[in-house]
Structure 1
Amino acid sequence: MATRRSIDECIQRCEDAIRNAEKQYKEGSKQDHYHDVEYSAAMMQLEEATNEVMQLANSANSQQREQLHRMRLQVQKFQNEMILLDHDPSVVGGKLH
């Protein structure tokens, strides 16, 4: 069974991943954005958070699963927003590298 502490730590890591992704999303929305490594790292952090939530949910009770499910939806929502952002690292200022 998942402990309250493990759930809280997982939620905290998810919130940290979302905050980092929000920052990178804002940067990625700007014209002439050059922080592609950071953008990709933020997307990877969100993916890792999703995986951790799903893994932890396997050993959680019903209340914990519900809490983890809500957090997973938040993380996945932001993953989708980052994927849909027109952020192509091979295009800078409208020109291909």
Structure 2
Amino acid sequence: MATRESVEQFIQQCEDALRNAHAQYTEAKQLEHYNDTEFSSAQEQIEATYNDLMHLSQSCNAQQREQLNRMRLQLQNLQNEMTLLRH
């Protein structure tokens, strides 16, 4: 079973990944092809965070799983936006 502390730390990690990816997304919309490496790195970070979230959610209680599900939706939404951006 995942501890409350480990879930909170992971939520923080997710929020950091979201902030970074959102910044790269915003920059990519403005600069187009000038930050390809950083943009791709942010996409990889989102994907890795998503995969870690799915593994962690298997060992959580219902309340923790709900928290992680909300975070999963945010990660997926940004991941989709980044994929659809004509970058």
Q: TM-score range by the shorter chain?
A: over 0.9
- Report which of the two has the higher share of helix: 2
**SS at the partner of 1:34?**
helix
User: Who is 1:95 aligned against?
Assistant: none
User: Who is 1:77 aligned against?
Assistant: 77
Moved over 6 A (4+): none
Number of equivalent positions: 87
Does the CA-based 8 Å contact 1:27-1:33 persist in structure 2? no
Distance 2:36 2:68 in 1: 29
Structure scoring higher RCO (CA < 8 A, sep ≥ 6) equals 2
- Percent identical residues: 56
Q: Mind listing any 5+ residue stretches in structure 2 that lack a counterpart?
A: none
Structure showing greater radius of gyration is: 1
Distance 1:31 1:64 in 2: 38
Distance 1:67 1:34 in 2: 35
- Report which of the two has the higher share of strand: 1
Question: Which TM-score applies when normalising by structure 1?
Answer: 0.86
Counterpart residue type for residue 53 of structure 1: L
